[in-house]
Amino acid sequence: MIRTALDQVALKVVNLHKHFSASAVLQGVDFTANRGEVIALLGENGAGKSTLVNCIAGKLQPTQGQIQIQGDTQLIASPSDAQAAGIAVVYQDLALINTLTVVENLFLNNEIKHRNVILNRLGWLDKAAMLKRGSKLLQRLTSVTLDLHAAVSSLSVGEQQIVALIRAVNVGADIIVMDEPTAALGNEQCNHVTDLIRLLSSQGVTILLVSHNLVQVKALCDRAVVLFQGQSVADVSVSDYTEVELLSFMNGVTPDVDSVTVAS
């Protein structure tokens, strides 16, 4: 189902270029993502997906082009700028601290300070408030039972993915970019993560999903934006194309289908 009924553009990438010395990695990438959509970012290795994600995340600065958030052009010069703009990126390494607990990771760099003025000035944290809010987040967003006091190192990879996703929600992200979120997961863990992605999208969160798993893309995503040699070569509804046809786009070949809409 295409969720364009929301008809509110959350993210727009306009003519994005990125050069490293004489090498052009991105060459005019264009696409939009509506509020609540799940969009696959597809492309073979070297197509420019990681560079595009890093530009959106503020880790790299584009050589040319614009990134617009809800209609406003944003200068995303750092990851903190991206977070302030409502963007969170969940990388494959998840960026969790294994020695910290689940609740400590949920509030990492977003801790709740103690309400007592003196203790607040001394840097004390309101651990009870974080536990209460963390518990409510888990109850609202997942059926997976997680011990908030458990060290993240004791969790499965799938459970760690859930913690990373819920942390993104907790910092107020309206746009979440995920890099191969289920590549290392078994079926049950994969189902928990995909259920959470569907729930977040139903609540208006925009999901950009970098994936090579075309079966998952077909099952989970509304649209696919395909990169080839640094260019956006297609922006299509995944329901209109087979996995083989999506793979053709990724290889720079336009399938012989009359209804193809190719990005200009």
What is the residue-level pLDDT of the chain in tens, covering all 264 positions? 344 445 799 999 999 999 998 899 999 999 999 999 999 999 999 999 999 999 999 999 999 999 999 999 999 999 999 999 999 999 888 889 999 999 999 998 888 888 777 776 777 788 999 999 999 999 999 999 999 999 999 999 999 999 999 999 999 999 999 988 877 788 888 888 999 999 999 999 999 999 999 999 999 999 999 999 999 999 999 999 999 999 999 999 987 655 445 554
pLDDT of residue 162: 93
The CATH superfamily assigned to 1-86+174-264 is P-loop containing nucleotide triphosphate hydrolases (3.40.50.300)
Q: Which residue has tokens 């990126």?
A: 89
Neighbours of 63 (CB within 10 A): 15
Domain ranges of the chain: 1-86+174-264, 98-172
pLDDT of residue 24: 93
pLDDT of residue 5: 45
Q: Which residue has tokens 């336009």?
A: 254
pLDDT of residue 1: 35
pLDDT of residue 101: 96
231-237 and 175-179 strand pairing: unpaired
The first and second tokens of residue 98, run together, are 């294994």
Torsional sign, CA 85, 142, 32, 178: positive
Report the predicted TM-score, pTM, of the whole model to 2 decimal places: 0.86
pLDDT of residue 31: 96
- The DSSP string of 6-54 is G--EEEEEEEEEEEETTEEEEEEEEEEEETT-EEEEE--TTSSHHHHHH
Q: Collapse the DSSP code of 179 into the 3-class scheme (helix H, G, I; strand E, B; otherwise coil) and give the result.
A: strand
pLDDT of residue 2: 41
